């Protein structure tokens, strides 16, 4: 039998080893929160659609014109409690991060009202972002206000449009402790295709009153095996992979328009920041080729890295490709 001093020494070594793991693990794996990773292993489920879909103020009902690529949805002087949401987009194994996932975000202001003004240069409490090379995203805004939906209030929520390859759907994010969740059609389902259980997240409050929350997005992996097709009814055009790719001095991008439309071709970095607008004009049908010399809108080199080239028809995202600048 071991003596007490030997047993105590082993206990101290075990404690120190475990303590160092918890201290160092965020440094060794910054793209994944340890506790959230463990939760994903224990119970991994796909991020579901929301029962209410995009709601009455979504991009198919109110044009996305002037919605910026930004992770600052709320102005500095916007009334309300400041909120930061972060997360990682995963395949449905909940361990493989996915870069270049397009997220369009919008929600009500502190008074429960949506910005529907399409004639200004900045759309309030609306934004578009892309997940980075490690699948990460984050945005700063305010806690949404509530509004009456019939005889009861809808709980506070943030709308998400999620697009990647042929994945394309709307969902909504809710917050634990909201008393209106129990009676709400969108946030109350706990089973079926609109199960909102994992879309109701905990918020923590800092000393300055700012709230933060973690929302990881799990995509349906079966969609990754599907090949995008040039379907006129669905895309009204096409965007082919650029060549050469990777490139150093210039690359060519081929795209097509099946019928007249306002066409926009934009390049963004892996954080979703706009780098270069290659095209922004009304065009007739046909096949076209455009070159990018790797420079930004200021005429300077965009630098090496992974970029996302997005094709918009009438301010609706149709398709995007990943471009590598060597």
Run of H or E including 320: strand 316-325
Residues 261 and 309 in one domain: yes
**pLDDT given at position 228:** 37
Same structural domain, 209 and 287: no
State which H helix or E strand residue 20 sits in. Answer: helix 4-28
- Same domain? 241 vs 208: no
Give the largest Cα separation in the chain, rounded: 87
Does any domain span residue 240? Answer: yes
132 and 43 in a common domain: yes
The CATH number of whichever domain residue 211 belongs to comes to: 2.60.130.10
- Within a domain: residue 23? no
Asked if residue 118 and residue 242 are part of one domain, the reply reads: no
pLDDT over 80 (residue 48):
yes
Among 224, 248, 276, the domain-final residue is 224
pTM above 0.75?
Answer: no
Q: Is 6 a member of any domain?
A: no
If one counts the domains in the chain, the total is 2
Over residues 107-127, the pLDDT tens digits come to 999 999 998 776 565 578 999
Domain of residue 171 covers 39-224
Convert the pLDDT of each residue in 190-243 to its tens digit. 888 899 999 999 999 999 999 999 999 999 865 444 333 333 334 477 888 888
What's the pLDDT score for residue 20?
A: 36
- What does the alpha-carbon distance between residue 156 and residue 213 come to, in Å, rounded to a whole number? 14
Q: Tell me, yes or no, whether 185 and 69 share the same domain.
A: yes
Q: Can you tell me the mean pLDDT for 270-291?
A: 86
Residue 277 has pLDDT above 90, yes or no: yes
Is residue 294 domain-shared with residue 212, that is, in the same domain? no
Cα separation, 244 vs 147, whole angstroms: 51
Query: Does any domain span residue 32?
Result: no
Proportion of the chain above pLDDT 90, given as a percent: 47
Nearest CA among 179, 220, 171 for reference residue 199? 171
Does 21 score more than 70 pLDDT? no
Q: Let me know whether 136 and 165 are in one domain.
A: yes
For residue 164, the model assigns a pLDDT of: 86
- Whether residue 150 is found in the same domain as residue 176: yes
Q: Do residues 282 and 157 share a domain? A: no
Instruction: Specify the CATH number for the domain of residue 302.
Output: 2.60.40.1930
Residue 192 lies in a domain: yes
User: Would you place residue 8 in the very low, low, confident or very high pLDDT band (cuts 50, 70, 90)?
Assistant: very low
Candidates 171, 152, 173, 148; CA nearest to 83 is: 173
């Amino acid at each position: 039998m071991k003596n007490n001093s030997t047993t105590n020494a082993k206990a101290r070594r075990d404690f120190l080893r475990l303590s160092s793991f918890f201290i160092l693990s965020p440094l060794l794996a910054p793209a994944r929160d340890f506790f959230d990773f463990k939760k994903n292993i224990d119970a991994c489920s796909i991020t579901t659609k929301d029962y209410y879909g995009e709601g009455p103020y979504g991009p198919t009902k109110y044009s996305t014109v002037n919605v910026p690529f930004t992770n600052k949805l709320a102005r500095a002087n916007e009334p309300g409690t400041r909120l930061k949401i972060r997360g990682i987009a995963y395949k449905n194994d909940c361990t493989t991060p996915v870069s270049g996932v397009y997220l369009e975000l919008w929600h009500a202001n502190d008074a429960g009202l949506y910005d529907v003004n399409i004639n200004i240069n900045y759309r309030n409490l609306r934004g578009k972002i892309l997940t980075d090379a490690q699948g990460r995203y984050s945005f700063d805004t305010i806690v949404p206000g509530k509004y009456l939906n019939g005889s009861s209030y809808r709980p506070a929520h943030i709308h998400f449009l999620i697009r990647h390859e042929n994945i394309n759907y709307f969902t909504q994010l809710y917050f634990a402790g909201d008393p209106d969740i129990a009676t709400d059609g969108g946030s109350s389902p706990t089973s079926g295709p609109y199960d909102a259980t994992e879309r109701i997240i905990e918020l923590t409050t800092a000393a300055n009153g700012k709230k933060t929350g973690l929302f990881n997005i799990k995509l349906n992996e079966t969609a990754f095996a599907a090949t995008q097709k040039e379907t006129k009814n669905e895309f009204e055009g096409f965007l082919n992979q650029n060549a050469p790719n990777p490139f150093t001095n210039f690359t060519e991008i081929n795209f097509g328009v099946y019928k007249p439309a306002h066409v926009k071709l934009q390049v963004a970095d892996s954080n979703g920041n706009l780098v270069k607008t290659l095209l922004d004009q009304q065009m007739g049908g046909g096949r076209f080729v455009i070159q990018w010399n790797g420079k930004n809108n200021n005429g300077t080199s965009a630098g090496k890295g992974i970029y996302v080239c997005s094709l918009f028809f009438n301010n609706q995202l149709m398709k995007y490709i990943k471009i590598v600048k060597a």
